[in-house]
Amino acid sequence: MATDQLLLEVKDLKTYFFLEEGTVRAVDGVDMVIRRGQALGVVGESGCGKSVTARSILRIVPRPGRIVQGEITLHRMRESKNGRTVTEAVRLTDLDPMGVEMRSIRGAEIALVPQEPMMSLSPVHTLGNQIIEAIMLHQRVTKAEARERAIHMLDLVGMPRPSRTIDRYPHELSGGMRQRGMIAMALCCHPSLLIADEPTTALDVTTEAQILKLIRGLRQELGMAIMYITHNLGVVAQTTEDVIVMYMGKVVEEADVDSLFHDPKHPYTRALLRSIPRLGQRTRERQRLESIRGSVPDPYALPKGCSFHPRCAQAIRGVCDREEPPYVEVGPAHKVRCVLYC
């Protein structure tokens, strides 16, 4: 599948949470583009706005959050009357979040694999019930056909004995099996974009490796685009081609995986990479792992200027704490939001 075709454009997205204590600018002007079949990693610490960005795209931002500004456009492939496939641009931000059209996109065009496989399935319904429901919601099939497809999908995600597992309740399945079930549910309507929101965070390392391999394989087989949200840079290196680094609701750096790992520009990205242990370092060279000093600022009182400056080792007094840094291009498709590269 051609990867130069646009699939999703996010322009200047701002999603704020209006709480009694104040307004939290969870997503504060995010731009991103996802092409058909592309695997994009979104990296950042907890609370940096990655998950809220995903929920904004799906239009399921929980109350009291609201998209206050920006555009999200999905380029949807459709079969026209004469049988040819045409692409039409749907502006998701203009749709009623609970309306028919948004619901026909959610789950069918854009699907979500959530973070907590333990909690993300209804405890009182069988796995099959929940997958078949998703299939029948978006496709005109009978219940028997839907069941057939669900079993096929479970088989595809490597569920052992799918025709029996389908009638199991979530508590009868292990964490890895539940996550396979969630992936099957997300993929059952062949979405063009799969949003995986830290899908392996709650799993042990062995299971994580299996699930990552599964997602990579399924992407090749089904050709969908993946937006992979994680705080784990190692996972990004394994699964994606391009990366976006987020900090306090903003994109601070974007690049392809190679450039980002070998030539990180933003002080935050560099600090993130330095905080990962590396294999193969000789004992003599071995040093203490660095951590990023300070902690994430109070979301109600963001620092003025660059929101990273209080933690940044290279902050320039009088510049970084005054003005919002510009987003500069430092290489082909490599951009960074920092005054050091102006």
Write out the residues near other proteins by the rule CB under 8 A.
58, 60, 62, 98, 103-108, 111-112, 114-116, 119-125, 130, 133-134, 137-138, 169, 171-172, 182, 185
Task: Answer whether 266's CB lies under 8 Å from 252's CB.
Answer: yes
Q: How far is the CB of 114 from other proteins (least distance, A)?
A: 6
What is the side-by-side strand order in the sheet with 242-247? Answer: 110-113, 193-197, 225-230, 39-43, 242-247, 250-256, 334-337, 327-331
Q: How far is the CB of 229 from other proteins (least distance, A)?
A: 14
Helix (H, G, I), strand (E, B) or coil at 314: coil
Q: How far is the CB of 131 from other proteins (least distance, A)?
A: 9
Q: How far is the CB of 246 from other proteins (least distance, A)?
A: 21
Residue nearer to other proteins on the CB measure, 97 or 297: 97
C-alpha span between 273 and 278 (Å, rounded)? 10
Residue nearer to other proteins on the CB measure, 124 or 205: 124
Q: At 60, list the tokens.
A: 């399921």
Task: Answer whether 107's CB lies under 8 Å from 71's CB.
Answer: no
Question: Which sign does the torsion angle of CA 17, 21, 22, 26 carry?
Answer: negative
Side-chain-side CA neighbours of residue 77 (13 Å):
15
Q: How far is the CB of 171 from other proteins (least distance, A)?
A: 5
Residue nearer to other proteins on the CB measure, 186 or 292: 186
Residue nearer to other proteins on the CB measure, 103 or 231: 103
Q: How far is the CB of 136 from other proteins (least distance, A)?
A: 10
b/e 83-106 (16+ beta carbons within 10 angstroms → b)? eeeeeeebebbebebeeeebbebb
User: Across the strands, what pairs with 242?
Assistant: 40, 256
Residue nearer to other proteins on the CB measure, 7 or 195: 195
Residue nearer to other proteins on the CB measure, 194 or 246: 194
